Amino acid sequence: MKIGFLGLGTMGQPIAANLLKSGREVRVWNRSAQATQKMVGLGAQAAATAAQAFEADVVFSMFADDAALRSVLLDSGLLAQLNGPRIHINLTTISVASADELARLHRAQGIDYIAAPVMGRADVAADGQLNVLVAGPQRAIDRVQPLFDLIARNTWRLGPQASSANAMKLATLHLQEAVAGLQSERGEL
């Protein structure tokens, strides 16, 4: 199974490194070449373009936010040029509306879209101990579960609607912020 990986920032690099450690072929792309070269040093193949990274059976993406993901996949016209069968696993925490839009657009191209935002910091990612909130087509999730097992301690399956994973991640973030605010008010931090 050939793997593509787009977005090699603070979280993307350790996740991609764990996929590489499994001995799988991983082709990487990042908007800045320096991050790509670091992964090439670990055994990855460099993709000159995001489209080249999508020349794989399974593609992971890990961007900063909705805008970065939209720029690479939609504004560039990349997604409209792709077709299935392949699986796109989006690890980025994005809005529910964006997740619904991406699921619809992927379906139109014959590509299985899995939303899989992660819970954990870079050190947790490096240790392969993330919690991954996963939603999308069941058969596609079953196919890539061995890859989730390489990067995560737990994979939490949240059903067939991809945006469910993003809704859960956003709700968790808001809850963490609320708890931290209460603790700060009480002087517990």
Which residues are identified as catalytic? 169
Q: Alpha-carbon distance 67 to 58, whole Å?
A: 22
How is 126-189 classified by DSSP, letter by letter?
A: HTT-EEEEEBS-HHHHHHHHHHHHHHEEEEEE--S-THHHHHHHHHHHHHHHHHHHHHHHHT--
> For the purposes of burial, counting CB atoms within 10 Å of the CB of 188, is it exposed (0-12), middle (13-18) or buried (19 or more)?
exposed
Alpha carbon of residue 46 to chain centroid:
18
